[in-house]
Amino acid sequence: MEKTGGKYDFSLYEFHNLLHQNILVSYKGPIDERVMTVIGENIEILTNDGNDRTKSKIFKIFMELAQNVWLYSAESCKTMSGKQLGMGTLVIGEFGDYYTFVTGNMVKNTDVEPVIEKCEIINSLDRDSLREYRREQRRLANQGKKNSGNIGLIQVALTAESPLDIELTPVSEEESFFSLAVKIKKKTVKE
């Protein structure tokens, strides 16, 4: 279809079509509790296929990953009141019998290695071992021995019941774009 107009270097129609297939909600920008409330509510409405278990899982995953972007994104901005907000992208898509939730944000190359390692560990563990890993990491965090930001990632893998699909794309010498996707199967009530 021919691009009409041509006044702007950006075709919103093409962008819309890019997003339209399978994508329920997408957001790119700063994240704080107010943004999380609005997106959270939208997600709740749009994943309302009659199953509370699936909705509850998506919500839990969203809360952890959104807050991770807010706190740890290398790209951030300041509100008028001086609050620092991490910036990133969140997308939730629906594909037949599952949903995919993806978040992405800039990271400093010097900071990202431990996160990748943690995801690899998480992906290598079976459910019982993952639960044990969460117990251990939580204990260590409470003893002041570890950064607790990564307990969220363990929780996401447990809630999703699927691996963390991570991708790191170098952008510059100092930074890369880090994305994390999880698949959430639609559940029937007694599953």
Residues that bind other proteins (CB under 8 A): 33-34, 36-37, 52-53, 56-57, 59-60, 63-64, 67, 131, 134-135, 138-139, 141-142, 148, 151-152, 155, 158-159, 189-190
Report in angstroms how near the CB of residue 26 gets to other proteins at its nearest.
21
Which residue number, 100 or 155, has a Cβ lying nearer to other proteins? 155
CA atoms within 13 A of residue 68's CA, in its CB half-sphere: 28
Which residue number, 61 or 74, has a Cβ lying nearer to other proteins? 61
Gap between the Cα atoms of 167 and 189, Å rounded: 33
Which residue number, 48 or 148, has a Cβ lying nearer to other proteins? 148
Report in angstroms how near the CB of residue 151 gets to other proteins at its nearest.
5
Indicate the SS3 state at residue 48.
coil
Which residue number, 62 or 178, has a Cβ lying nearer to other proteins? 62
Report in angstroms how near the CB of residue 132 gets to other proteins at its nearest.
8
Report in angstroms how near the CB of residue 17 gets to other proteins at its nearest.
33
Residue 174: enclosing H or E segment and its boundaries?
Answer: none
Report in angstroms how near the CB of residue 148 gets to other proteins at its nearest.
6
Q: Is the dihedral of CA 15, 20, 21, 24 positive or negative?
A: positive
Which backbone phi and psi does 31 adopt, to 5 degrees? -125, 130
Range list of H helices, 6-98: 12-20, 33-46, 52-72
Which residue number, 110 or 188, has a Cβ lying nearer to other proteins? 188
Give the residues across from 78 on adjacent strands: 84
**Nearest of 184, 53, 58, 178 to residue 119 by alpha carbon:** 178
